[in-house]
Amino acid sequence: MKMKDRVTLGVLQEADMEGLRALVVNEEIKKTYMLPDLDTFQAQEKLCRRLQNMSLDEAHFVRGIYLDGQLAGFLNDVEMKDGCVEVGYVVHPGLWNKGIATCALRLAIGQLTEKGFHTVRAGHFEMNAASGRVMEKAGMKKIPDTDTVEYRGKTHLCIYYEMKA
C-alpha cells in the first residue's frame, strides 16, 4: 500500500492525548516548530486539550496526522486572513523522511481549498531545508516573502511557500 493511502487527517481523539503530549515536548520538534516551554504536566495537558478543542472547532483547521490510524503528528492553522491560510505541521521524528508530512500537507491543501481558501501558505526556518522539500513535494511554490522570527534565543529566517487554488 502506498504512503498516500496510509496517511489521513482527522479530529484529535481522547486516545491521542498521550501521543500528542509526546509531540509537544519532543526536543527535536521544538528545534523547528514553535512551541512554548511546557515545564509541567498540567501545561502540557492544557496545550493538548486546546489543540483537541480547536480540532473540533470549524473556525480553525487543526487535524491529527494519522499513519495507519495511529497519531503520527498534527497540522494546524497559524493564521487565516482574506482567503489565505497559513499552516504548520509536526510529524514525530521517528517517522521523518517517509513522506508522511508531504501526504498530510497535500490532504490539508485539498481540504482547505474545499473550505474556500484560495491560498495555502506554510513557512520553515532556513536551517530546516527538509521542510521546504516537503512543501515543494506537496505542490507549493517558494515565494519571495521572508520573515525573521525570534525563537528560543535565536533569530531565524523564515522562508515561505504557497499554493493557490
Walk along the chain (165 residues) and give the pLDDT tens digit of each residue: 787 889 999 999 999 999 999 999 999 999 999 999 898 999 999 999 999 999 999 999 999 999 999 999 999 999 999 999 999 999 999 999 999 999 999 999 999 999 999 999 999 999 999 999 999 999 999 999 999 999 999 999 999 999 998
Fold of the domain spanning 3-164:
Aminopeptidase (3.40.630)
**From CA 33, how far away is CA 152, in angstroms rounded?**
11
Which of 98, 95, 68 shows the shortest CA–CA distance to 8? Answer: 68
Which of 45, 162, 31, 37 shows the shortest CA–CA distance to 96? Answer: 31
pLDDT value for 2: 86
| pTM given for the model | 0.95
pLDDT value for 165: 81
Which of 70, 65, 73 shows the shortest CA–CA distance to 108? Answer: 65
Task: Dihedral sign for Cα 141, 147, 150, 156, please.
Answer: positive
pLDDT value for 1: 75
Cell 516548530 locates to 33
Phi, psi of 76 (to 5 degrees): -145, 155
Which of 126, 124, 146, 147 shows the shortest CA–CA distance to 135? Answer: 124
Residue 109 parent element (H or E): helix 100-114
